[in-house]
Structure 1
Amino acid sequence: MAGSSFGTLFQITTWGESHGAGIGVVVDGCPAGLSLSSSDIQVFLNRRKPGQTSYSTMRKEADEVEILSGVFEGHTTGVPISMLVRNQDQRSHDYTQIKSCYRPGHADYTFDAKYGCRDYRGGGRSSGRETIGRVAGGAIASLLLKSLGIHVQAYTKAIGPYTIPEEEYDFSVLTKDPLCMPHLGYSEKAQAYLNTCMKQKDSAGGIIECQITGLPAGIGEPVFDKLDALLAQAVLSVGAVKGFEIGDGFAAAKAKGTENNDAFCIQNGQLAKQTNHSGGTLGGMSDGSTVCFRAAIKPTPSISSVQHTVNTFMEEVELSVKGRHDPIIVPRAVVVIESMAALTVADLLLRNMSATMDNLRRIYQ
């Protein structure tokens, strides 16, 4: 299978299936000397771990990470870092009934069309558990960025019809809220909405927003590997994501140039922008302001409501998906989006070192 790697200099390769022995990732290109332990990775994995609230699957997985290589005496060594999370609570028999059915909203049909076979147990490689490898790799990227004063923060901006206005964000409540929403009032409304969806054997979607602060200007490549283009690729590679926008996004199409342009100014002796409609990028490169983007997350396709579909014998049938599934993907996907952003920025930072001779001289002279 091609396409399981992401990044150029700071690169991850994920492997494993939902109901296989485990999920893993190899991180290559991490500089030596970064302080790292399994507990550093576990903090991130715990944020996407199942079974923590009534709004996530009841599959009980510890998701404990094992670092197999690349770390010695508490620091990275510069060689590939291999990590493993073992699957412990597979219930493959839950999927026997759908072995020959193509589940609506899933990759069952497209896997058969491409490979002539598929792992029907929880989606196999297309399962959300694949994101464990992304989060483990993203944890390392986040630690690298933090050491450079760069911070990546994702959160739930909207669930169903409930969207938090930017001026009402309260990030102090993020760790307390089961939906990862920076506003407890909106979270209460969203929870009531989700409870209704669950009673109706249905699911819900939402929007994840991510902010990157402390990123210097000039990060990103001007043509194909633009910062915003690679962020889009990274985020859209997450299975549940169906839309991406940065800055004002699609709202920019309704604006005039005088409204959409960010005027430059001097603040505290430094070049700055009066507004940030562009979302922190210009010409595919960071402009020194906060990078802000959003990802649209679709409703969980595994629902117990009866759905119309087709089986592998080309017969039209009715299907109700059994087993343990998230009624909403958004809260557990927050750290996944955050991790993909961190991986993108870490890679582009390393690539930027060769942008000028001055950069090379700082390293080698």
Structure 2
Amino acid sequence: MSFNFGDNLRITVFGQSHSEAIGVVVDGLPPGEEIDLARVQSFMLRRAPGNNTFSTSRREPDKAKVISGLLDGKTCGSPLCAIIENTDCKSGDYANILDVPRPSHADYCAYMKYKGANDIRGGGHFSGRLTAPICFAGAVSLQILERRGIFIGAHIQSIGDIEDRSFDPVSVDSSELVAVKNKQFAVLNDVIGKQMIEQIELVKGQADSIGGVIECCAVGVPVGVGEPIFCGIENRLAAALFSIPAVKGVEFGTGFASSKLRGSENNDEFYYDDNGLVKTKTNHHGGILGGIASGMPIIMRVAFKPTPSIGLQQNSICLSKKTNTMISIKGRHDPCIVPRAVPCVEAAMAIALLDLML
């Protein structure tokens, strides 16, 4: 089923952008794992809307209410279920697009698939709002992974053509990943971050939108995690990442740029470090070989398209009249989804890795 993910750690998300609530069921968690709900809430607030001038003005506290699965703050073997109420919906903003699909949004495909019965309000279950329950599951997974020495962090690699510096693919450590999480705007170079914010506010003032790239890293993943063929780390990470609306591409290590290299340039030579651990001098492979963790940092980059809901007038169609028409989208939308998607990428990575490790 399309709302489910995982083989060992099984998650199911439910709800729509403007339904009474959204939520998630997480099954397969190891029993006896202590879950700090305050840390979970702090993680989710990084994704929550309305917390700055460069995101949507929709304000949602994203307070997760745990229904089952915890006893005295620890997992008890029962599926962990949490709901998140939708408290700031303005469904009337979507009245003018009930049968006029927004360009590059899921509206038309959903209308055809569900024979017009789809919930158009806020994008229904195609909305980025559904990443909130994914972040809950990811925040829980992150705490369990950290107790096993695995840390995950991400930063905004680029907004449009403005680029942050990259993680050092050989020597990035957990302290750097934790540090960037604590920033309001998740970049490694704060000067570049200010330029990115200015660019986002510029396109917002023009009733337009802009895309970007997020770079994410996991350190401490033991050698041997992952499976060949269909269950490689890349396979499972890609499946989880494409649950995030607006994701259009994923690359690992040097990625597409490796296609321009020779084998002598792209190959990562092995060596024993001073502690007798096997490492590679470079990390073009992004910490994954044959679908299996090599012990080097796992590095990936995730490309996001510009938010399709923009205020500029565009061409579309009227489905009921079968005529061409124009559309000007109202409502509250992010001029750039990338800043709020950083924890979503971390969450997807955590869910996929914990599933493989279990």
Q: Place the TM-score, normalised by the shorter chain, in its bin.
A: over 0.9
Read off the aligned partner of 1:314 and give its amino acid letter: K
1:60-119 deviations in whole A, cap 9, x for unaligned?
111111000010011110110000000111110011111111001111110111111211
2:270 pairs with 1:271: no
Q: Contact conserved, 2:225 with 2:293, CA < 8 A, in 1?
A: yes
Q: In structure 2, what is the equivalent of residue 194 of structure 1? A: 200
Match of 2:90 in 1: 91
Cα offset for 1:181?
A: 1.5
* Corresponding residue of 2:160: 160
Q: Report what 1:12 is aligned to.
A: 11
Q: Greater CA deviation, 47-56 or 184-193?
A: 184-193
Quick check: 2:151–2:177 contact (8 Å CA) kept in 1? no
Q: Spell out the pairing of 1:206-217 with structure 2 (5 A cutoff).
A: 206-217=212-223
The AA in structure 1 aligned to 2:347 is S
Shift of 1:304: 0.4
Distance, in Å, in 1 between the alignment partners of 2:79 and 2:93 is: 36
Residue type of the partner of 2:331? G
Please tell me whether residue 337 in structure 1 is matched to residue 345 in structure 2.
Answer: yes
What's the secondary structure of 2:68's corresponding residue? Answer: coil
Alignment gaps of 5+ in structure 2: none
1:124-163 correspondence to structure 2 within 5 Å: 124-163=124-163
**What pairs up with 1:1-365 in 2 under 5 angstroms?**
2-117=1-116, 118-166=118-166, 174=180, 177-268=183-274, 269-312=276-319, 313-350=321-358
Tell me if the contact between 1:173 and 1:182 (Cα under 8 Å) persists in the aligned partners: no
How far off its partner does 1:175 sit?
5.1
Kindly provide the amino acid, as one letter, of the partner of residue 264 in structure 2: T
CA–CA distance in structure 1, aligned partners of residues 226 and 33 of structure 2 = 23
Letter in structure 2 aligned against 1:328: C
Q: Say which SS state the counterpart of residue 48 (structure 1) adopts.
A: coil
CA distance in 2, matches of 1:230, 1:161: 29
Change over 3 Å in CA distance of 1:196–1:123 after alignment to 2: same
Whether the 8 Å contact between 1:177 and 1:184 is mirrored in structure 2 is: no
Could you state the TM-score of these two structures normalised by the residue count of structure 1? 0.93
Change in CA separation of 1:228 and 1:171 when aligned onto 2, cut-off 3 Å: closer
Contact 1:38 1:66 (8 Å CA) reproduced: no
How far did residue 165 of structure 1 move?
2.6
Take 1:227 and 1:341, find their aligned partners in 2: how far apart are those partners?
Answer: 10
Partner AA of 1:49 in structure 2: A
Is the Cα contact below 8 Å between 1:243 and 1:297 reproduced in 2?
Answer: yes
Q: Which amino acid aligns with 1:164?
A: D
Deviation per CA, 1:162-182: give whole Å up to 9, x if none: 112327997686356543112
Task: Provide the rounded CA distance (Å) in 2 between the counterparts of 1:40 and 1:135.
Answer: 12
Give the TM-score normalised by the residue count of structure 2.
0.94
Deviations 1:230-253 (Å, cap 9, x if unpaired)?
Answer: 111111221110011000000010
After TM superposition, give the deviation of residue 36 of structure 1 in Å: 1.4
What is the aligned partner in structure 2 of residue 363 from structure 1? none
Q: Structure 1 residues 310 and 208, CA, compared in 2 at 3 Å: closer, same or farther?
A: same
Q: Contact 1:208/1:330 (CA < 8 Å) preserved in 2?
A: yes
Give the number of equivalent residue pairs: 349
Contact 1:53–1:178 (CA<8 Å) still a contact in 2? no
